[in-house]
Amino acid sequence: MADTSHGTGGTRTPRPFLKWAGGKGQLLAQFEPLYPPAFRAYHEPFVGGGAVFFHLAATGRLAGKRVVLSDNNPELINIYQVVQTAVHELIADLKRHRNERDYYYAIRAEEPQDPVRRASRMIFLNKTCYNGLWRVNRKGKFNVPFGRYKNPKICDEEALLAAHAALQNVEILLAPFETVLDRAKPGDFIYFDPPYHPLNETSRFTSYTADNFGPEDQRRLAAVFRELDRRGCLVMLSNSDTPFIHELYRGYRIDKVWASRAINSKADRRGQITEVVVRNY
């Protein structure tokens, strides 16, 4: 998959351009030996910040393959679609934003309909909100307070241009995770990175969409994992290292990886913690 910059020449390595709770950038080195050596197509139904996709693209493993990125977060999918098709307009709009408290709340209150303005608004909020959280209330309204960063990089032009190049010829869909069953074929590689099952009730994360992802959703996801396995797909899933997750995926290969939790409102809940990677291969 080509990664050619537009306008300035040269080549850039694609990487996430959003802050994302649970983002996998720090785990890529541990993931390296866990990917399948060969696969036909790539699907990521909880794309989030896209660290795994961008890494696979940067290392050439997606070249010539069908790639489908999806999520049920409409604002997130709009951002990816705009980065794919209108990155220069997005960059121009991002440059108007200011890291000021009153301005932040004025932008947060807006509901722009234009896709570029929508994407610009959400990237600005993501880069300047408290702890980089993406959280909405039950009405789907972004409700994270101002973050008071001294000099956040609101417009990371280099990262956006690299992502634009990596996203060419990629299918980007607003869709629930179950719809991967409509697309995946034998030999395809599917990576699931869902909202994690909480380590305990007090650590439950308020959803990044208007619908929480609870135990029943985890069970539905495990059923989709098993169906993909039955069809001959290669499936890899990340989740929390809890008895509930171990029981859901009993019979599959479960590896532990070490993650550093940086996005948490409570300092004593940051630091090194184990997560699991479940595979059927």
Strands 271-279 and 234-240: antiparallel
What percentage of the chain reaches a pLDDT higher than 90? 80
| Mean pLDDT confidence for 68-79 | 97
The distance of Cα 260 from the centroid of its chain, to the nearest Å, equals 17
DSSP code for 197: P
- 3-state DSSP: the chain helix, strand, coil percent, rounded to 5? 40, 15, 45
Single pTM value for the model: 0.90
pLDDT band with cut points at 50, 70 and 90 for residue 202: low
The three-class DSSP label of residue 233 is coil
Cα–Cα separations (whole angstroms), residue 218 to 214, 272, 277, 279: 6, 24, 15, 16
Residue of 201 and 170 predicted with greater confidence: 170
The residues, any chain, with a CB within 8 Å of residue 197's CB and separated by 6 or more, are 215, 218, 239, 240, 242, 244, 245
- How far apart are alpha carbons 70 and 179 in whole angstroms? 9
- Residue indicated by tokens 């019979």: 251
- Residue indicated by tokens 């996998």: 24
Listed residue (208, 183, 177, 165) closest to 54, CA to CA: 165
pLDDT greater than 90 at residue 107: yes
Phi, psi for 45 (deg, rounded to 5): -80, -10
pLDDT tens figures, 255-272: 999 998 654 445 445 578
| Mean pLDDT confidence for 21-50 | 96
Which residues, listed in sequence order, are joined to residue 235 by a DSSP beta bridge? 190
How much is the pLDDT for 5? 39
Lowest mean per-residue pLDDT among 10-14, 141-145, 171-175, 219-223? 10-14
pLDDT band with cut points at 50, 70 and 90 for residue 7: very low
The residues, any chain, with a CB within 8 Å of residue 55's CB and separated by 6 or more, are 28, 31
The three-class DSSP label of residue 215 is helix
pLDDT greater than 70 at residue 122: yes
How much is the pLDDT for 81? 98
| Mean pLDDT confidence for 118-136 | 94
pLDDT greater than 90 at residue 1: no
Lowest mean per-residue pLDDT among 75-89, 112-126, 163-177, 191-205? 191-205
The residues, any chain, with a CB within 8 Å of residue 233's CB and separated by 6 or more, are 184, 185, 186, 187, 188, 189, 190, 280
How much is the pLDDT for 139? 86
Cα 188–24–76 angle (5° rounding)?
Answer: 80
* Structural domains of the chain ordered from first start: 25-279 (3.40.50.150)
How much is the pLDDT for 136? 87
- Residue indicated by tokens 């999806």: 70
Listed residue (127, 160, 129) closest to 143, CA to CA: 129
- How far apart are alpha carbons 121 and 114 in whole angstroms? 11
Which one of 29-43, 134-148, 196-210 scores highest in mean pLDDT?
Answer: 29-43
pLDDT greater than 90 at residue 240: yes
How much is the pLDDT for 203? 55
Q: Is 208 exposed, middle or buried (0-12, 13-18, 19+ CB in 10 A)?
A: buried
| Mean pLDDT confidence for 146-175 | 97
pLDDT greater than 70 at residue 211: no
How much is the pLDDT for 204? 52
Listed residue (65, 126, 86, 94) closest to 6, CA to CA: 86
CA R_g for the chain? 18
- Mean of pLDDT over the chain: 91
The distance of Cα 80 from the centroid of its chain, to the nearest Å, equals 10
How much is the pLDDT for 23? 87
Q: Token pair of 228, please? A: 């993909």
